[in-house]
Amino acid sequence: MDKEKKKLKDRLRKKYRIVVYSHDTYEEKVHFKFTLLNLFNAIIVSSVLLIVLVTYLIAFTPLREYIPGYTDVSLNRRVYEMEQRADSLEMVFKQKDLYINNMKRIIMGDDFDSDSINSLLTKSSNTDFSNITNKKSKKDSIFRIEYENETRNNLFNHSLTNDITSDYKLVSFFSPMTGIVTSHFNREEKHYGIDIVANNNSVIKAVADGTVIYSDWTVEYGYCIGIQHNGNLFSVYKHNAVLLKDDGDFVSAGEPIAIYGNSGSMSTGPHLHFELWYNGTPLNPEDYISFESN
């Protein structure tokens, strides 16, 4: 047994020589000296290096995509981005659906009992508020008066005196439409305008220069248009058949703004409901405008 081991060691350590000769002259060109042990070591080291190289290429380079069974290296990132976009689109669609449903409710005149605001208002509370007192100091009252005077709504930086009658008795308003006044101004009954009956398809005109700040359709009053005039004066025209102006349009006195009609659930027949407001206070239009034809 020992002799066989010794023979094997002698074989592994026995030197061999590989010589490369020229084919034409038989001249020695290159020669290599090696032993079987060195040859085995070289093969093992080369195999290890090859395994390491292949492992690196598969694990850390895009070359692994060409190996059957491996997926795209950027697949996970793209899947994540697609999931984020899908969530965003789902949220947008929900908002659009809510908007469309609310618009349908507005057009049909339905209530919004299921809305979050109304649901909060209708919720009952078990909290006892009887012990809470609201004490107003003199400074608070003075500050409130000063703040309200400074922040009154006025699209035109122009102030008028507090005497409404003396201000507008001298102003010449253009009649929105000539006809018969069938319902007069009545503050106690909360009828803050007048109803005028005229010929069908009559043209409704602006009473003064101003800017259209509202031009749309409502369930109760149909096609309405509101104009802000100089000096905190605001005119409203309701139950029209057609609106001729849009939000933001500037109109001159006497310029056509709508067509006489019968629209809205509050309308009982063709007529124009006309209102005139000053600083949030309704005025009797008949005190300033003549609606009868000459």
Task: For residue range 28-40, list pLDDT tens digits in order.
Answer: 778 778 787 788 8
Q: Which CATH architecture has domain 164-287?
A: Distorted Sandwich (2.70)
- Backbone φ and ψ of 169, nearest 5°: -65, -30
Task: For residue range 52-110, list pLDDT tens digits in order.
Answer: 888 887 777 766 666 666 666 567 778 878 888 888 888 888 887 876 776 566 545 55
Q: Please give the model's pTM, rounded to 2 decimal places.
A: 0.46
Q: State whether the Cα torsion 25-29-34-39 is positive or negative.
A: negative
Instruction: Specify the pLDDT at position 119.
Output: 40
Which residue ranges make up each domain of the chain?
Answer: 2-60, 83-107, 164-287
